[in-house]
Amino acid sequence: MMKLNRGSIFLIAFLLSTLTSLQSSSSSSSEESNIISRFQQYLQIKTNHPTPNYTQSSQFLISLSKSLSLESQTIELVPGKPIIILKWAGTSPELPSIMLYSHTDVVPAEHDKWVHHPFKAHVDDEGRIYARGSQDMKCVSMQYLEAVRILKSWDFQPKRTVYLVFAPDEEIGGHDGAEKFSLSKDFQDLNVGIVLDEGLASPDEHYRAFYAERSPWWLVIKAVGAPGHGSKLYDNSAMENLLKSIESIRRFRASQFDLIKAGLKAEGDVVSINMAFLKAGTPSPTGFVMNLQPSEAEAGFDIRVPPTADAESLERRIAEEWAPSCRNMSFRLGQFKQKLSVLDASGKPVITKTDSSNPWWALLENAVQESGGKLGKPEIFPASTDARYFRRVGLPAIGFSPMANTPILLHDHNEYLHKDEYLKGIKVYESIIKAYASFDERVKDGTSKDEL
């Protein structure tokens, strides 16, 4: 046997440890590149409106579910609009299940305004993955699946059944997707206890989580008045009547915006109102007739109302200040059904509780923290998501997309997600799914069944 002195022992130990670390880093980096490559493949599928290829996205998701030995089921509540349900059976199937929900469609992209093609999923030198859907919300769909893959590799056994549900058409209102699904027997059969759906990226280090959302009211106001010569000053023309309303709406808009600017309220907590169109004038072959004051004028507004706002007083404001009949004005509220949909059967706003009455909230907070992430204050989602349909049938639903340190680029040109944020998000879901799937309120805090 060779005689070894201290120095050579150190040298051998050093070489061995270098070898081992090289090996493990090369296997983890190849695993990492597989994870990114699966994300890219999903991003490359053109599920953009107006002609999303749901056939291809379904095939892809089902092939992934096979590689994870998950049971899969495809239902079509509307032909050509598949909903994919993947099941990871729990050991206590009588407990309400966990639904990890995502939509498969994306909004269109103007290719020529992007630095990298929106369906190539190019990773740039910095590690940014450019693609339509990289934030909204193909990231979340794939992160759910990757987290399940990792938990399975540890032989983790969920107590509750975990469903991964991928649905179409969110970007066009979700009527043929989440809305019909939430009311279906197929959904009831899943016995869901908690829904996770999408949130928004966060430019700072805190992840954002949403417990409710604003509902859209699409308001069109119309004024009529006596027509007249363009040179004449007179009261009560249609344009004058409309402008008075627009001035009043602008003051209201500023008052709400000031609350955000002053840091007193978050975006989702105020009523937003933005003018979407103005329609007036008498067309002529060269543009508009200029020496005529028209007898009709119309304007349209996108209003977003948080569930915490006083909807009745807003309706009164519309009827009395923005479109008063005494000023020869009338109004239409489109999407009005949506307004009702944020109220539950007893007329209370539909929100998911974020206090101790909802254990899923605390579990999420803890799980995020345990994975090394930070969670901001719960917020009202400023726009709409499919989560509203599940809240409407009485379920808690949390909007959450783990993207910190990321500019908000959903629906924007050059939507991207950094690969490190994407990978971190998988860790966050590992932690959340583990906590959710293990949660059993029948077991008292701090005492496991084994100890009883």
Ligand X SMILES: *[C@@H]1O[C@H](CO)[C@@H](O)[C@H](O)[C@H]1NC(C)=O
- Report, as residue numbers or ranges, the catalytic residues: 105, 170
Count of chain residues binding ligand X (CB under 6 A):
10
Number of CB atoms found within 10 A of residue 89's CB: 14
Among 58, 132, 136, 216, the residue binding Zn ion under the rule CB under 5 A is 136
| Rounded CA separation 173/160 (Å) | 30
**Do residues 404 and 373 touch, judged by C-beta distance below 8 A?**
yes
Annotated binding residue 49: no
137 binds Zn ion (CB under 5 A): yes
Instruction: Lay out the site mask for ligand X across 321-340 (x = CB under 6 A, - = otherwise).
Output: ------xx------------
**Binding partner selected for residue 20 from Zn ion, ligand X, none, CB under the kind-specific 5 to 8 Å limit:** none
| Rounded CA separation 221/49 (Å) | 30
Among 20, 26, 29, 55, the residue binding ligand X under the rule CB under 6 A is 55
What does 222-255 look like in DSSP terms, one character per residue?
A: EEE---EETT---S--HHHHHHHHHHHHHHHHHH
Sole window of 46-54, 191-199, 327-335, 368-376 interacting with Zn ion (rule: CB under 5 A): 191-199
Q: Which two tokens stand for residue 62?
A: 């089902």
| Rounded CA separation 263/259 (Å) | 6
Please report, as residue ranges, which positions from 228 to 247 form the binding site for ligand X (by CB under 6 A). Answer: 236, 241
Instruction: Lay out the site mask for Zn ion across 145-184 (x = CB under 5 A, - = otherwise).
Output: ----------------------------------------
Provide the angle, in degrees to the nearest 10, between the axes of the packed helices 419-438 and 6-43. 90
Among 56, 191, 335, 366, the residue binding ligand X under the rule CB under 6 A is 56
Give me the residue whose beta carbon is nearest to Zn ion.
136
74 binds ligand X (CB under 6 A): no
Secondary structure of residue 192 in the 3-state scheme: strand
Question: Which residues have CB under 8 Å from 407's CB, separation 6+?
Answer: 201, 203
**Binding partner selected for residue 236 from ligand X, Zn ion, none, CB under the kind-specific 5 to 8 Å limit:** ligand X
Q: Which two tokens stand for residue 191?
A: 């016995």
- DSSP-assigned letter for residue 346: T
Torsion sign (Cα): 411, 417, 422, 424: negative
| Rounded CA separation 394/119 (Å) | 37
Please report, as residue ranges, which positions from 259 to 318 form the binding site for ligand X (by CB under 6 A). Answer: none
Give the containing element (helix H, strand E) for 61: helix 54-67
Instruction: Work out the widest C-alpha separation in the chain, in whole angstroms.
Output: 114
The smaller minimum CB distance to ligand X, of residues 158 and 225, is found at: 225
**Binding partner selected for residue 330 from Zn ion, ligand X, none, CB under the kind-specific 5 to 8 Å limit:** none
| Rounded CA separation 358/377 (Å) | 16
Sole window of 49-57, 76-84, 174-182, 428-436 interacting with ligand X (rule: CB under 6 A): 49-57
Q: Which two tokens stand for residue 270?
A: 């105020």
The smaller minimum CB distance to ligand X, of residues 41 and 184, is found at: 41
Sole window of 13-21, 51-59, 132-140, 378-386 interacting with ligand X (rule: CB under 6 A): 51-59
Residue 88 pairs with which residues in a beta bridge?
Answer: 162
**Do residues 54 and 152 touch, judged by C-beta distance below 8 A?**
no
Question: Which residues have CB under 8 Å from 394's CB, separation 6+?
Answer: 344
Whole-number minimum distance, CB 168 to Zn ion, in Å? 12
Amino acid at 207: Y
**Do residues 278 and 288 touch, judged by C-beta distance below 8 A?**
no
Helix/strand/coil (H, E, C) string of 361-391?
A: HHHHHHHHHHCCCEECCCEEECCCCCHHHHH
Among 41, 44, 53, 330, the residue binding ligand X under the rule CB under 6 A is 53
Whole-number minimum distance, CB 244 to ligand X, in Å? 10
Sole window of 14-22, 190-198, 206-214, 397-405 interacting with Zn ion (rule: CB under 5 A): 190-198
Sole window of 36-44, 55-63, 361-369, 402-410 interacting with ligand X (rule: CB under 6 A): 55-63
Instruction: Lay out the site mask for Zn ion across 193-222 (x = CB under 5 A, - = otherwise).
Output: -----x------------------------
386 binds Zn ion (CB under 5 A): no
Whole-number minimum distance, CB 390 to Zn ion, in Å? 14
The smaller minimum CB distance to Zn ion, of residues 136 and 179, is found at: 136
**Binding partner selected for residue 136 from Zn ion, ligand X, none, CB under the kind-specific 5 to 8 Å limit:** Zn ion
Q: Which residues bind ligand X (CB under 6 A)?
A: 53, 55-56, 59, 225-226, 236, 241, 327-328
Q: Which residues bind Zn ion (CB under 5 A)?
A: 136-137, 198
Query: What residues are designated binding site for Zn(2+)?
Result: 103, 136, 171, 198, 411
